[in-house]
Chain A
């Protein structure tokens, strides 16, 4: 069973545009993490946001967390073709539980 659900399932944008992905989860959390997975590769950690934080930035990434709505969003600004990948949110409960991911395609 998966705790998180990402929305949309797939997103296609032009280089330079912003990409926004959303994640909803079911139970209370201590933190939420976002990971990226390039085709045929393992997952790479992007950012961790704690339950007492509302927003966090890392380079071109901006993550928000709304614990009252049990949701998080990942914004990638000024997207590049190299950002093409699947993006997953993950919540902990003793072990990381991943959603099904958003497949992002950035066209040059």
Chain B
């Protein structure tokens, strides 16, 4: 595709509900990143994939957060038993090579999650 696509654009969930956020990276991009951005803050790293391998998940806040990229292209970020503090914009980014070293990231527009 022309850019990184994320869906849904907006998601409202009731506390305790499970949600799944989808990211379609740019075709052929090896690396995929998920970031969480709270209102008025910079993006916070969540997890990183190189193809289908999840090489870094150090930023996932709890075991309620799970990400996968089974075929090395589309990725899904799943949040189980959502809580109010999970409310944020979830950004997906991809890059052509095997990591962010000397590479720029291409970001999607994000999914704005509101947990009521």
Contact = CB atoms under 8 A, between A and B. Distances in A.
Interface string A41-71: 1111100101000000000000000000000
A95 B55 CA distance: 11
A43 B41 CA distance: 13
Contacts, number: 62
Nearest to A92: B100
A98 B42 contact: yes
Contacts of B43: 43, 88, 98
A99 to B, nearest CB: 5
Contacts of A40: 109
Contact of B42 (A2, A33, A95): A2
A45 B100 contact: no
Q: How large is the interface on B (under 10, 10 to 19, 20 to 34, 35 or more residues)?
A: 20 to 34
A95 B56 contact: yes
A94 interface: yes
B42 A99 contact: yes
A64 B108 CA distance: 28
A98 B35 CA distance: 10
A100 interface: yes
A43 B102 contact: no
Nearest to A50: B102
B45 interface: yes
Given A42-B91, A43-B91, A95 B100 contact: yes
Contacts of A98: 35, 42-44
A97 interface: yes
B46 to A, nearest CB: 10
Contacts of B105: 43, 45, 96
Interface of B: 4, 33, 35, 40-45, 48, 56, 91, 93, 99-102, 104-110
